[in-house]
Chain A
Amino acid sequence: MDASIRLRVDGQWRTLDVDTRTTLLDALRERLGVTSPKKGCDHGQCGSCTVLLDGRRAVTCLALAVAHDGAEIVTAEGLADGEDLHPVQRAFLEQDGLQCGYCTPGQVCSAVGMLEEVKAGWPSQVTEDLAGPPELDDEEIRERMSGNLCRCGAYPNIVAAIRQGAR
Chain B
Amino acid sequence: MRPLEYRRAEDPRRAVTAVAGRPGAMFLGAGTNLVDHLKLGVARPDLLVDVSHLPYDKIEPRPGGGLRIGAAVRNSDLAAHPLVRQHYPVLAQALLSGASPQLRNLATTAGNLLQRTRCPYFQDVTTPCNKREPGTGCSALEGYNREHAVLGASEHCVAVHPSDMAVALTVLDAEVRVLGSGGERTIPITELYRLPGDRPDRDTVLKHGDLITAVDLPGLPMAAHSAYRKVRERASYAFALVSVAAAVQVRDGAITDARVAFGGLAHKPWRAYRAEEALRGVRVSAAPGDTLAEATTAAPIAAGGAASTGENAGGTSTVEDLRAAADAELADARPLAHNAFKIPMARNTFVAVLRGLLREEGATR
Residue positions of A touching B, CB distance < 8 A: 1, 3, 20-21, 23, 42-44, 47, 50, 53, 56-59, 62-64, 66-67, 69, 110, 113-114, 117, 120-125, 127, 130-131, 142-144, 146-148
Contacts and interface: CB of A to CB of B under 8 A. Distances in A.
Contacts of A47: 100, 102
A59 B102 contact: yes
Given A43-B36, A44-B32, A143-B236, A63 B106 contact: yes
A131 B103 CA distance: 23
Nearest to B32: A62
B86 interface: yes
A24 to B, nearest CB: 10
Q: How big is the B interface, by class? A: 35 or more
18 contacts: A1-B6, A43-B36, A44-B103, A58-B105, A62-B31, A67-B28, A67-B30, A67-B31, A113-B101, A117-B80, A122-B79, A123-B80, A123-B92, A123-B96, A130-B93, A146-B236, A147-B99, A148-B100
B86 A131 contact: yes
Interface string B79-94: 1100001100100110
B365 interface: no
A146 B86 contact: no
A123 to B, nearest CB: 7
Secondary structure type dominating chain A contacts: loop
Interface in B84-124: 85-86, 89, 92-93, 96-97, 99-103, 105-106
B363 interface: no
A114 B246 CA distance: 29
A67 B52 CA distance: 9
A21 B38 contact: yes
Contacts of B105: 53, 56-58, 113
Given A64-B35, A122-B76, A123-B79, A147 B100 contact: yes
Contacts of B31: 62-64, 67
A125 B79 CA distance: 10
B352 to A, nearest CB: 16
A68 B99 CA distance: 21
Q: Which of B39, B86, B97, B237 has the most CB of A within 10 A?
A: B237
A146 B36 contact: no
Interface string B222-242: 000000000000011100000
B235 A146 contact: yes
A57 B101 contact: yes
A152 B294 CA distance: 40
B306 interface: no
B287 interface: no
B5 interface: yes
Q: Which of B35, B100, B103, B235 has the most CB of A within 10 A?
A: B100
